[in-house]
Structure 1
Amino acid sequence: MSTTATESTEKHLIRFDRVTKRFGDQTVLDDLDFRVFPRKHVTLIGPSGSGKTTILRLLMTLLRPDEGRITVGGRDLFHEERGGRLVPAGEKYVREVRKDIGMVFQQFNLFPHMKVLRNLTEAPVHVLGLSRDEAEERGRELLEMVGLGDRADAYPGQLSGGQQQRVAIARALAMRPKVLLLDEVTSALDPELVAGVLDLLRDIAKTTDVTMVCVTHEMGFARDISDCVLMFDEGRVIETGHPDQIFGDPEQERTRAFLSAVL
């Protein structure tokens, strides 16, 4: 199924071409065509097991497609050209392409033995090659942005869940990614902490040029930040549109049934 995740005259930033992913006998993504354009915010909705998170894990190269091709910024994610032909990409090539992509997971995945600021600076120093001073300056700016400027010297275990997720968001942004992937980033939080993290992400969407691909069951958040919403079911996109259309007047009965269950 062909899906364009926003209308734009610019060249796409993310492209899935006929991507299929299987786990055993189960087809999780079924011949998926999918585009995301620069500086757009795209939200994937649908029931659990419909393939949404698999898209993010493929983009992070945590999984490989069984069929099809994925490109980010015009570069193939799993293949590179050698001698005029495409061959499976080496790890060095994959790491280079992946620099453009940041991801915030359901779990915070912070390094517990490192202070907050060190959590933000390790990858920029060792992956991007920034000096320690430059990385720390950037890290402190990001901690201020997420409201944790006074917690640079704390350890993750000294923070609340909401604060740890804010650090995880800042850590992803510290790599200056072109694409920020968000995988149910509030699902592990206590209910009273959810609103603060969602407000932070709304601010990032409004004030930065980062492209976002978001998987969430927070429908109000999806409606607020999205340029385009995609409804997934059984490994396929069954409906695509502006959030006002998807949430206000969906065309597909399956979309209507899903939204009536979650809203």
Structure 2
Amino acid sequence: MKIAEAAEETPGTATDPYELIRFENVTKRFGDNTVLDSLDFKVHPGKHVTLIGPSGSGKTTILRLLMTLIKPDEGTIKVDGEYLCHEERDGKLVPAGEKHIREVRKNIGMVFQQFNLFPNMKVLRNITEAPVHVLGLSQDEADERARGLLDLVGLGDRCDAYPSQLSGGQQQRVAIARALAMRPKVLLLDEVTSALDPELVAGVLDLLRDIAHTTDITMLCVTHEMNFARDISDCVMMFDQGRVIEFGHPDKIFGEPEQIRTREFLSAVR
């Protein structure tokens, strides 16, 4: 199967040859279980890619690899032209040091299923902590950026609230603002509505739609919200047993999937 490419199925756009994300022959195992099996795919800048498939098919593992929460057993990952978990020394690839990993990872932000806010910090500080200590912004610069993002997510009046004083949907909005505060080139979204009460899901998805449609940020999204995936995606990748079995424009994947396994999965989740 050819390398899954997030630009080639997008109609009406020129293919940018530059690859913002590149997985090459990536394999990840947990004990005897191969979660990703020689995975190859690439994502071009500004594209929105949604990963779908049954639980355990490897989707979230891809996001965790990009965040370096885990490392591949085989293969390489590049982000913005730089190896993520490797470095080139004397013409050879060797495991990367923490300094190199931190530098490349600055380009990546992630919003998790659980909000993971610091409970002892007010909303504003939750957002400014990383820009100050990782990016080296002054407190005034970080505060200004955070207030603008809180306005964007509809929480401009909650700067001084603690996470415990917010609803689940509001906490997830703060988590989105926190990820965006790092000005990442890539935003990873891992089932960001799965921990929310049903009545809060629509508001968070609408916010993410707005971000997708009004910014040039590259998105890699794992979700079971198929309507949301269809709305925001340039490319949908269907995973099964650690492999991409089908990929393409959402109209193709959701309207005329080629693989029986894809049709079965979509029938089950709709």
Whether 2:195 is the aligned partner of 1:157: answer: no
- 1:38 CA drift (Å): 0.2
Consecutive unaligned residues of structure 1, counting only runs of 5 or more, are: none
Q: What secondary structure sits across from 2:238 in the alignment?
A: strand
Corresponding residue of 1:103: 110
Counterpart of 2:141, as a letter, is E
- For the 8 Å contact 1:10–1:38, the answer to whether it is kept is no
- Higher mean alpha-carbon deviation, 80-89 vs 195-204, is at 80-89
Corresponding residue of 2:7: 6
Whether 2:124 is the aligned partner of 1:117: answer: yes
Question: Structure 2 length as normaliser, TM-score?
Answer: 0.96
Q: 1:258 aligns with which of 243, 262, 265?
A: 265
Corresponding residue of 1:61: 68
For residues 235 and 157 of structure 2, the distance between their equivalents in structure 1, rounded to whole angstroms, comes to 36
**CA-based RMSD:** 0.7
Aligned ranges 1:165-204 → 2 under 5 Å: 165-204=172-211
- 1:4 CA drift (Å): 1.3
Whether 2:210 is the aligned partner of 1:208: answer: no
Q: Deviations over 1:22-44 (max 9, x none)?
A: 00001000000010110000000
Moved over 4 A (4+): none
| Identity across the alignment (%) | 81
**Number of aligned positions between the proteins:** 263
Q: What secondary structure sits across from 1:34 in the alignment?
A: strand
Counterpart of 2:83, as a letter, is D
Corresponding residue of 2:82: 75
Q: 1:47 aligns with which of 51, 54, 63?
A: 54
For residues 261 and 83 of structure 1, the distance between their equivalents in structure 2, rounded to whole angstroms, comes to 51
For residues 84 and 259 of structure 1, the distance between their equivalents in structure 2, rounded to whole angstroms, comes to 46
Question: Structure 1 length as normaliser, TM-score?
Answer: 0.99
Corresponding residue of 1:131: 138
Counterpart of 2:29, as a letter, is R
Q: What secondary structure sits across from 1:102 in the alignment?
A: strand
Q: 1:92 aligns with which of 91, 94, 99?
A: 99
For residues 22 and 217 of structure 2, the distance between their equivalents in structure 1, rounded to whole angstroms, comes to 17
Consecutive unaligned residues of structure 2, counting only runs of 5 or more, are: 9-14
Q: What secondary structure sits across from 1:185 in the alignment?
A: coil
For residues 9 and 162 of structure 1, the distance between their equivalents in structure 2, rounded to whole angstroms, comes to 36
Whether 2:23 is the aligned partner of 1:22: answer: no
Whether 2:223 is the aligned partner of 1:246: answer: no
